[in-house]
Structure 1
Amino acid sequence: MDNTPNTTLDPSTPAAAGGLLAGKVAFITGAGRGIGAAAARLFAREGARVLLAARTEAELKAVTEEVRAAGGTADHVVCDLADAASVRAAVDRAVELYGRLDVAFNNGATGQQPGPMDQLPEADFDHVYAVNLRGPWLAMNAEIAAIRATAGTGAIVNNTSVGSLSGNPELPAYGAAKRAVNSLTESAAITYGPEGIRVNAIAPGATLTEMIREWEAKSPGVVERITSHAPLRRAADPDEIAQAAAWLLSDRASYVTGVVLPVDGGARA
């Protein structure tokens, strides 16, 4: 089987030749804000036609219009990662709009109330599991089917967390779900690599998103404490995380699969 990267450019794509993702169709979850919104802007600048997915339509619409105003090709679809039918319909929408799916960035997630695991209500644990683990599993299944049926080869990146790489007593359910996504990533890389579908993950450190601002509000000083242990001594901008995802999705990373890449300012060095 020929599983070399598909680099054929679609002549209808308005992107300039040579962009990191030129000619590709990209599906992004959690794209209404934070890292997902940064990824939508970046992927479009790098030549992809993008479909943005999230639960809040107003946020999706705003980012979509921003991408279009900058000359990119974008659309959006409301998607609840905890709902299997919603996830499948969102991925199918990318194929309906653009005729194919090449790459996907599974970024969407939900947080948890910080604190010891025995203080987390069962319903909250179930919600974190449904969105942060079952959601990426559903998305990968739909994305692999769409890539296989259209582009043939492609790439997927899952967004986990540096907090998944060791014990996480402050966010135990969040960290556990993200660690499980790391395992799913590695398993998928082994399973679908022979078909030419690469699957990787990024594990961001502290990043200036609404989620970490909410954590800071509940646990004042947590951002300073986290960043003080990173050699770069600062939190990341969402675009810096999106850049790592873009590279892993691009053909420049054509021999990279099964990797969980920390993007953490050196925190785990």
Structure 2
Amino acid sequence: MTGETFDPASYLAGLEDAARVIRAPMPHGGSMVWHQWGAGRPVFLMHGSFGAWTHWTKNIPALVAAGYRVIAGDTPGLGDSDPPPDDWDIYSIGKLVAGAIEHALAPGERFHLAGFSFGGIVGGQAVQALEDRCDGFIVVGSNALGVRLNEARPDLRKMRSTMTPEEMLHVHRHNLGVIMFGDHGRIDPLALHIQQRNTRKARIRSNTIPRGDSLATVLRSIRVPVTGIFGEKDATAGPYMQDRRDVFEPLQHCRGFHLVEGAGHWAQYERPDLVNPLLLQALAR
């Protein structure tokens, strides 16, 4: 997906045009938006902070080709979804997502869910609420595990309205390199376009939620099969990756904890060649 002739905006537009858009009403008003592709067993995908369904751009085609119905969401307050109530927290937003999942499913239909970063934290709340219908939960690079976060990394740069488009692009490249990628050489035009598009639409922040233990609490309470996938060079984990392994592997329902060679936090984008087989392996169980 690189080269002079590749147009990131056109590529995303084509993927979006191929989707069925589902708008799930929320109790307080507005709707949560899903994009759905394919047919077969449903797999829900939840994205990270300041993100949208586009965080899964390099994984959706592979899952659809494998015969799954892929339903990728925009968390309330992010992407094209309407915002949650002003007093939202991880528990209330998890309930909104659980309700939106039920809206997208047929009565009694079962599902898998994969959540990246903040999407794994939010998705965990939804999985807990719908545990009796969930066949598997895949966590990709999520925190809120009650373990140490890596504080020794360069600061993210802020966008300013006075910046030129070139200066803004430079900021996006810097921030992707700091937090999302293990190999800065893999930051391609599509990644920059996705980052620019998603950050413009973001109306909520995850704030201190990743520093808590809400996901760890969910993982220890549910009996849904769980798989952990983390980039080997995840900047949010830094030298504390073993702490994450120590949360997952003791779980009786853990089906594997995988490190993705050379990948940073956004492992499923940076190394789809390694992550897509892991996703399909977890879904097949």
If the TM-score is normalised by the length of the shorter chain, which range does it land in?
A: 0.3 to 0.5
What is the TM-score when the length of structure 2 is the normalising length? Answer: 0.42
